[in-house]
């Protein structure tokens, strides 16, 4: 991100003048280099300097000229926040409230840049994962197979998650960075292979590999983010990753009309990931290894000497895996059979499906950002339980309504469903020590994906039995109710706690940080 110079001139009162002549302690922590000149102690900037010049006092007040020169540590991702940062930093009026769009604690330059780089990779992963879902309806038309075969193909793709088990063992032992970068790039190439397959079996095969690689990358994105950010920013960081992953998925929706041009044009959407490879290479040049992994040396040995700790982690693993299985058995069919539902039961064309998905998906950004922020302020359990309950109920309504009502409840559904992701998705990285974090999340994801496959198969069978998806989705809607009870009774609260407090076995790691 380029350097910005912002000069602000205003007539202020004496109290505001005095405040401006003291070091800031908000989004940035300053030190005073000289009277009226301030440098950076901590904040999300590679370069920062602030000078304040005081003019004459008049009846109207005191003229103040503030000059800010800064370079945000967010790379290309900083374009999204350029104007809010500029407005916040140049503010001279009264006390500066903590900006709604930022994490609820001050970020260092390293953390800000790290999250930005991870967000770029999340965009690529989001597209690679979603392109099969969006195009399968059109692929089965070319291949001439049934809706049940479509459900089976989507379910079989999820078997690729088993790849992540071995890859994440490597990430726990050798490092996050190398595995993350390799799997993102390989997922782009594997996805592109879907453009040339002759039948649905080979399409499922190529995308099984893609899904395994992309799932590994997705898990590592959350792990690295959790290992880098502060205790009051983990859910927020996850919300940023989910938002950018959603943006990648949204791109596949925007391109969906291409699939309706001709019987074969859905294949073009599988070539798009090749365009992301240069960006992946740019990220690889500057992405560092996770701090906590670098600092961890003997945590594995320490864990083996603590049977009680091992039991705790097994119980946590079982809790998250069972909840993930149940929730995914509902979420997967409602999301991935939606195009089929709109096309066959509501008579939508490819362009109409794309329009519906775009119009109802965009509000999900609000759910992701607000859900992440509320999870930091009010806790993961309350936000997660409410979001799962309301998201599930409105999703069921989407499949049992038509016309304007269907559009409305679909919007509400995506907002609450999106809010569950940062509120609950952060538990996986939080509840396990550094030496087990990758492997534990791989197991949870594998079982969750098994839930997705199970839900897709069940939904396909219920669709054929009842002649439509509405009744089947309603029956599957029991799952979110069970998950709400599990969250309320069994989930621990982890908001505003350091990872080393949640996992005492990692406590020595904190001494390896440079701050």
- From residue 23, alpha-carbon distances to 7, 64, 112 in Å are 18, 16, 21
Structure tokens at 168: 């994440």
Whether 4-89 shares its CATH topology with 109-495 is answered no
The span from the CA of 160 to the CA of 212, in Å, is 4
CATH 1.25.40.80 is held by the domain 4-89:
no
- Determine the pLDDT at residue 512: 46
Please tell me what DSSP assigns to residue 9.
Answer: E
Residue-range domain boundaries for the chain = 4-89, 109-495
**CA separation, residue 201 to residues 145, 270, 344, 394, 399 (Å):** 11, 16, 23, 34, 29
CATH number of 109-495: 1.20.1250.20
Instruction: Give the three-state DSSP class for 433.
Output: coil
Give the pLDDT confidence of 358-385 residue by residue, as tens digits: 888 888 888 998 999 899 989 999 999 9
- Enumerate residues 6+ apart whose C-beta is below 8 A from 107: 43, 44, 115, 229, 230, 233
pLDDT in tens, 256-279: 889 888 889 999 999 999 999 999
Kind of pairing, strands 37-42 and 29-34?
Answer: antiparallel
CA atoms within 13 A on the CB side of 100: 4
The token pair at 479 is 């799952």
Task: Count other Cβ atoms within 10 Å, centred on residue 53.
Answer: 11
Query: What is d(CA 124, CA 161) in angstroms, rounded to the nearest whole number?
Result: 17
* Confidence (pTM): 0.82
pLDDT at 136: 79
Report d(CA 495, CA 226) in Å as an integer.
12
Q: What is the pLDDT of residue 514?
A: 45
Beta strands in 35-140 (DSSP E): 37-42, 45-58, 61-72
Cα separation values, 41 from 33, 150, 156, 434, 437, Å: 11, 56, 52, 29, 32
Determine contact, residues 125/182, Cβ cutoff 8 Å.
Answer: no
Q: Which residues of the chain have pLDDT under 50?
A: 298, 511-515
């Amino acid at each position: 991100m380029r350097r910005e110079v912002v000069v602000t001139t205003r007539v202020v009162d004496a109290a505001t003048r005095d405040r401006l002549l003291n070091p800031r302690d908000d989004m940035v922590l300053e030190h005073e280099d000289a009277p009226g000149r301030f440098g950076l102690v901590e904040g999300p900037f590679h370069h920062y300097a602030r000078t304040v010049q005081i003019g004459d006092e008049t009846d109207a007040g005191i003229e103040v000229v503030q000059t800010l020169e800064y370079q945000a540590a967010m790379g290309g991702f900083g374009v999204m926040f350029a104007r809010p940062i500029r407005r916040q930093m140049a503010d001279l009026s009264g006390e500066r409230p903590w900006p709604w769009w930022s994490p609820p604690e001050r970020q260092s330059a390293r953390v800000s840049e790290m999250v930005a780089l991870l967000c770029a990779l999340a965009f690529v992963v989001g597209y690679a994962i979603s392109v099969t879902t969006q195009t399968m309806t059109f692929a089965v038309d070319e291949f001439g197979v049934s809706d049940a075969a479509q459900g089976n193909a989507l379910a079989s793709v999820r078997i690729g998650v088993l790849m992540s088990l071995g890859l994440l063992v490597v990430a726990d032992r050798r490092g996050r960075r190398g595995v993350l970068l390799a799997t993102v790039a390989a997922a782009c190439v594997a996805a592109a292979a879907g453009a040339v397959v002759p039948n649905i079996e080979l399409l499922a095969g190529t995308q099984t590999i893609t899904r395994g690689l992309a799932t590994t990358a997705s898990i590592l994105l959350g792990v690295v983010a959790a290992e880098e950010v502060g205790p009051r920013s983990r859910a927020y960081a996850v919300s940023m990753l989910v938002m950018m992953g959603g943006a990648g998925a949204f791109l596949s929706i925007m391109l969906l009309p291409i699939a309706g041009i001709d019987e074969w044009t859905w294949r073009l959407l599988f070539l798009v990931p090749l365009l992301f490879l240069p960006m992946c290479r740019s990220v690889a040049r500057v992405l560092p290894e996770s701090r906590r992994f670098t600092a961890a040396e003997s945590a594995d040995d320490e864990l083996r000497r603590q049977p009680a700790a091992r039991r705790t982690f097994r119980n946590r693993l079982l809790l998250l895996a069972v909840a993930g299985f149940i929730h995914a058995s509902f979420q997967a069919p409602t999301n991935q059979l939606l195009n089929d539902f709109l096309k066959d039961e509501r008579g939508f064309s490819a362009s109409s499906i794309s329009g519906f998905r775009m119009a109802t998906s965009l509000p999900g950004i609000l759910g992701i950002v607000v859900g992440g922020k509320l999870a930091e302020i009010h806790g993961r359990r309350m936000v997660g339980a409410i979001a799962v309950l309301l998201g599930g109920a409105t999703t069921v309504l989407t499949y049992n309504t038509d016309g304007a009502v269907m559009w409305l409840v679909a919007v509400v559904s995506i907002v609450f469903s999106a809010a569950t992701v940062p509120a609950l998705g952060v538990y996986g990285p939080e509840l396990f020590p550094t030496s087990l974090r990758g492997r534990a999340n791989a197991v949870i994801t594998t079982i969750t994906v098994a839930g997705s496959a199970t839900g897709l198969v069940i939904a396909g069978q219920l669709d054929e039995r009842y002649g439509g998806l509405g009744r089947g989705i309603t029956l599957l809607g029991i799952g979110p109710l069970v998950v709400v009870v599990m969250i309320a009774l069994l989930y621990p609260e982890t908001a505003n706690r350091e990872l080393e407090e949640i996992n005492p076995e990692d406590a020595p790691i904190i001494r390896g940080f440079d701050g």
